[in-house]
Structure 1
Amino acid sequence: MGGMGSGRHWYWGSKDSTDDYRSIDVRRWKRDGLLAAHQSFGWQWSQHGEVVASIRVRTESNRVVLTYRHRSGGEDWKDESYPVYLDWTACNLGGERPWFLCPARGCGRRVAILYGGGIFACRHCYQLAYPSQRETWDDRAARKADRIRDKLGWEPGILNGNGWKPKGMRWNTFKRLTTQQMPSYK
Structure 2
Amino acid sequence: MLRLKADECYNITKLLNDLDNMPALATTHSLNDYLKLPISRYREQLRQGNAQSIEVSYTHRSKPYQYSIQLTKTSCNYGGHRYWWLCPKCYQRTSTLYCAGLYVCRHCIGANYGSQLQQPIDRVFSRIAAIRARLGWQQGVIHGIGAKPRYMHSKTFDRLVNEHDRLSVEVWQSTLDKLNCTR
Same fold (TM over 0.5): yes
Counterpart code for 2:98: Y
CA-atom RMSD in angstroms: 2.1
Unaligned runs of 5+ in 2: 1-24, 175-183
Considering fraction of residues, name the structure with more strand: 1
Matching residue of 2:113: 130
Q: 1:109 to 1:36 in 2, by over 3 A?
A: same
Q: Return the structure number with greater relative CO, CA threshold 8 A, min gap 6.
A: 1
Note the alpha carbon deviations across 1:124-163, whole angstroms, 9 max, x for none.
1111122112111111111111111111111222122222
**Aligned mates of 1:79, 1:14 — CA distance in 2:** 26
Matching residue of 2:41: 29
Q: How many residues align?
A: 145
- Which runs of structure 1 show a deviation greater than 2 angstroms over 4 or more consecutive aligned residues? 32-38
**Aligned mates of 2:44, 2:132 — CA distance in 1:** 35
Q: 1:155 to 1:33 in 2, by over 3 A?
A: farther
- For 1:48-59, list aligned pairs within 5 A: none
**Aligned mates of 1:159, 1:84 — CA distance in 2:** 51
User: 1:29–1:35: 8 Å Cα contact kept in structure 2?
Assistant: no
User: 1:63–1:86: 8 Å Cα contact kept in structure 2?
Assistant: yes
User: 1:65–1:84: 8 Å Cα contact kept in structure 2?
Assistant: yes
**Aligned mates of 1:158, 1:33 — CA distance in 2:** 46
Deviation at 1:34, TM superposition (A): 4.9
Deviation at 1:84, TM superposition (A): 1.0
Counterpart code for 1:114: L
Matching residue of 1:153: 136
TM-score with structure 2 setting the length:
0.71
Partner of residue 88 from structure 2, selected from 73, 95, 103: 103
